[in-house]
Each structure stands twice: as C-alpha cells, then as structure tokens.
Chains A and B, each alone.
Chain A
Amino acid sequence: MRPGLILACLLGASALPADAQAAHYVVDIADMAFGPAPARLVVGDTIEWKNSDIFRHTATARDGQFDLDLRPGGRAAVTLSKAGAVQVYCRFHPNMTMRLMVVAMGKG
C-alpha cells in the first residue's frame, strides 16, 4: 500500500476520484520553503499545498499546468494529469522551488 493512501483516508476519501489507486498528498509550506515532494507520484494523484507561512505564496508549474494562489493559512490542490517532471516555484519568491516526478498509471 502506498503511504499516500493512508493520508487519503484520513483526509476523507469521499472527495477523491473513484480510482482506488489515486492518492492525496499534502505539501506544507513554512519559513519560506516548500516541504519535501512526495516520492512516488502517479498520474491521477492529487497534491495539496498548505500554506503554514506568514507570507502569501503560490505553487506555480513552470510549464503552465497549474498556478495556485496560497494566502497565509490557505490550501489548494491540483490533480496531476500527465507524466513527467514538473518544476514548481513561487511566483512571489522565485527562490522557493520544488520538483515533482510523475509517472504514468500502472508504472507505480
């Protein structure tokens, strides 16, 4: 069982897609940094960014897939729709970066 599934159950599985394999991950933002990227991401998984910082941030994909605005205390999620590497940064603070590695379904 992938660790994300446990988290998915805790967060309320009813809100998740019907695909039983899809996992929901939470990445915390604190002290001007993204928390670690989930290790095994599969297309269909959901990532939620939770802004625990005192500053407003964004989680923005360099390739334009998503651009989430995160006010202090705010959270926002995206469902990963394609395989590949995704470079994520904060538009307000470009020194904040993280990298997601997403694999196609069935390869996990």
Chain B
Amino acid sequence: MITRMISRAAFAALLLLPGAALAQAQKPDDAQIAHIAYTAGALDIAAAKQAMAKASNPDVRAFAQEMARDHQAVNDKALALVKKLNVTPQDNSTSQALSKDAAAHLARLGALSGAAYDRAYVQNEVAFHKTVNGALQDTLIPSARNGELKALLRTGLALFQGHQEHAEHIARTLGQ
C-alpha cells in the first residue's frame, strides 16, 4: 500500500508539479510522450508475464494474458506510428521514474505467492492503470502535437480505463 502511494505520488510529481527542473517532463514533446506511453505498456507487459508464471487464480491469470496481449497490440501500433512519423522516442525522467518504480514492484511481488500474490498483483494493476490514466488525461494527450499520436493516446486511454475497471472487478471478487 505504501509503495503504491509513493509510486503514484512520484509519477504525479514528475508530470504535474511546477519547477524549472521538471519543466521538460511537465510539457513533454511528442518524442518523449511516445517514450512514456510505450514504457508504461512495456512495464505492464513485464508485470503480466510475472503474473502468468505466478498467479494461481484462473481469473487473475486470464487478466494477465489480456494485459500482455492488449499492451503488446497498442505498443506495436505505437512503434509503427513513430516509424511512419520518423520520430525517435526519447528517454526522459518520467519514463525512468516509471521503470524504476515498476522494477521495485516486480521485486516486491516476486517475493509473494498464492492468494497474497494474486491480490497484490491485481491491486497494483488498479493503481498503475489509474496513475497512467491520470497522466494520459492531464498531460500526455493535451501535450501531444501530432494528430495521429493524439488519437492513439486516446485509444490507449480508453484501453487503460477498461483495464482499470476489469482489475477493480477482479479485486472485488478476490476480497481484501
């Protein structure tokens, strides 16, 4: 719970708080936006792969397969788009913070097993998708300049919102 709150706060701070050091992350350009969106998808795929190996509940396993499948599909489309637009995704502090945070979560989840793992994975998925949804809505979509990138991010937002609802539904069935 505490790490979840820290991760959300860290991501929110990078994207939303004022300050000269954060100016770049605050108003990312298209190359940075593409990198952040792709990174978020890749991190969720890594979490899903861990869940496909560790989860015991069949609904949780199916959810993990869905995450891997959907995020791979949208990332494939994103790669095709940046290639078409001749944009090279640019690493940035937000992508780095997301990656660092996700690595810590993977390690933490890796130490759990059985029903405790299932619950922690699904709770983390709810929190992760909520955080990324906020970033897409408040920062990434409004900042995107290219129309096709903006459209793909909007599809990504609908996808992440769908995943969040699905994860919340599973979390309710698993109980606390």
Whether chain B is bound by chain A comes out as yes
Chain B residues within 8 Å of A31, by CB: 151, 154-155, 158
The total number of A-B Cβ pairs within 8 Å is 43
* A interface residues, tally (CB under 8 Å): 14
Residues 69-84 of B, flagged 1 when their CB comes within 8 A of A and 0 if not, give 1100110110000000
**Once the chains are docked, how many angstroms separate the CA of A81 from the CA of B158?**
32
Q: Which residues of B contact A (CB under 8 A)?
A: 66, 69-70, 73-74, 76-77, 151, 154-155, 158-159, 161-163, 165-166, 169
Q: Which of A18-26, A41-49, A61-69, A89-97 lines the interface with chain B? A: A89-97
Q: Which 5 pairs of residues, A with B, have the shortest CB-CB distance? A: A93-B162, A32-B158, A94-B165, A95-B162, A54-B73
Q: Are B166 and A55 in contact (CB under 8 A)?
A: no
Q: Are B162 and A92 in contact (CB under 8 A)?
A: yes
Q: Are A55 and B73 in contact (CB under 8 A)?
A: yes
Kindly report which residue of chain A lies nearest to residue B152, judged by CB atoms: A31
Indicate if A33 sits at the interface (CB-CB under 8 A): yes
Indicate if A72 sits at the interface (CB-CB under 8 A): yes
Q: Are A93 and B159 in contact (CB under 8 A)?
A: yes
**Once the chains are docked, how many angstroms separate the CA of A93 from the CA of B175?**
21
Q: Are B74 and A54 in contact (CB under 8 A)?
A: yes
Indicate if A75 sits at the interface (CB-CB under 8 A): no
| Interface SS of chain A | loop
Chain B residues within 8 Å of A54, by CB: 73-74, 76-77
Kindly report which residue of chain A lies nearest to residue B165, judged by CB atoms: A94
Kindly report which residue of chain A lies nearest to residue B164, judged by CB atoms: A95
Chain B residues within 8 Å of A93, by CB: 158-159, 162-163, 165-166
Q: Are B73 and A95 in contact (CB under 8 A)?
A: no
Q: Are A94 and B155 in contact (CB under 8 A)?
A: no
Centre residue among A32, A54, A72, A91 by max chain B CB count within 10 A: A32
Using A54-B73, A55-B70, A72-B73 as known contacts, say yes or no to A92 and B158 having CB atoms under 8 A apart.
no
Chain A residues within 8 Å of B169, by CB: 94
Chain B residues within 8 Å of A55, by CB: 69-70, 73-74, 159
